[in-house]
Amino acid sequence: MAHKAGFVNIVGNPNVGKSTLMNAFVGERLSIITSKAQTTRHRILGIVNGEDFQVVLSDTPGIIKPAYELQASMMDFVKSAFEDADVLIYLVELGEKELKDENFFEKITKAKIPVLLLLNKVDKGNQEMVEEQVDLWKTKVPNAEVFAISALENFGVPQVFNRILELLPESPPFYDKEALTDKPERFFVNEIVREKILIHYKKEIPYSVEIDTEEFFEEENIIRMRSVIMVERETQKGIIIGHKGSALKRVGVEARKDLEKFFGKQVHLELYVKVNKNWRSDERQLKRFGYNNK
């Protein structure tokens, strides 16, 4: 049989379950997941390899109207996902209305490629609700095939994957057949630390934070890592560290546990906090952290 390969890009509103879905396809915790919107800031590839196929999935940031430069860069990742898709997954959640951005919505309804509209989180509703919303989405996005799924419970996900395989073009693989992602190890360190910050801090704090892993050194039995947590203001630095360092310690302990699972090896993680004024609006800084891909 001929080899099939292609790009399957997942787009949708914030918090609908895009990262949960990509992880379910890949079977690994590649993308971080939290109950907060704007958890994902990058375009992250998750690659599923089979003997005669390579499905290159893309997780993307949730679609928003950007208010500052970091968010504008996040939306550039979404735009790029429209450009190279062989199959587009438009993920919506049960009870959701419409995409707030009409431009992106139009890109979906006028797409020349196959669109799979996946209604997620159906575990939260009853059958009547699900059927009603499936019908609604069929009229709103007539060019899409609609599936009801639960990414969290892996309900309907294998069926969608089989449909993807049918839709993919014949092609040699784009990446090494052993590859799982395009991102380097340090990226996952940054993300796992940021996930703990999203979980433990409130309001603006998680959105003002960026992580930069300055050291990643693998020894025979242990990986030594040093990451800096960047905040925008001095007051935020105090909050991150907490009373006698207790808050930062909790982040470190939880991140280390996850890193040990991720890398399958003992980890030593050193964290420190630095003020980097207005990094979210500074194009040069953003570029350094892998955002501005213009």
Query: Which residues participate in the annotated binding site for GTP?
Result: 12-19, 59-63, 120-123
Using CA atoms, how far apart are residues 120 and 224, in angstroms rounded to an integer? Answer: 39
- Residues forming beta bridges with residue 92, ordered by sequence position: 119
| Smaller CB separation from Mg ion, 18 or 43 | 18
Residue 279's CB: how many other CB atoms inside 10 A?
21
Rounded distance, CA 282 to CA 49, Å? 38
Q: Give Dmax over CA atoms of the chain in angstroms.
A: 62
Determine if 40 is a binding residue for Mg ion (CB under 5 A). Answer: yes
**Subset of 41-70 contacting ligand GTP (CB under 6 A):** 61-62
Interior/surface letters 48-76, b for 16+ CB within 10 angstroms, e for the rest: bbeeebbbbbbbbbbbbeeeebbbbbbbb
Given 42, 107, 121, 196, the residue binding ligand GTP (CB under 6 A): 121
- The amino acid that residue 275 corresponds to is V
* 40 vs 227, beta carbon nearer Mg ion: 40
Q: Which is nearer to Mg ion, 13 or 54 (CB)?
A: 13
- Whichever of 42 and 107 has its CB closer to ligand GTP, that residue is 42
**Residue 120 interacts with ligand GTP (CB under 6 A)?**
yes
**In 187-215, which positions are buried (b, 16+ CB within 10 angstroms) versus exposed (e)?**
bbbbbbbbbbbbbbbeeebbbbbbbbbee
Residue nearest to ligand GTP (CB): 62
DSSP state for residue 122 in the 8-state scheme: G
Among 72, 113, 130, 152, binds ligand GTP (CB under 6 A): 152
Does the protein bind Mg ion through residue 39 (CB under 5 A)? yes
* Smallest gap from residue 229 Cβ to Mg ion (A): 20
Binding site for Mg ion (CB under 5 A): 18-19, 39-40
Binding site for ligand GTP (CB under 6 A): 14-20, 33-35, 37-40, 61-62, 120-121, 123-124, 150-152
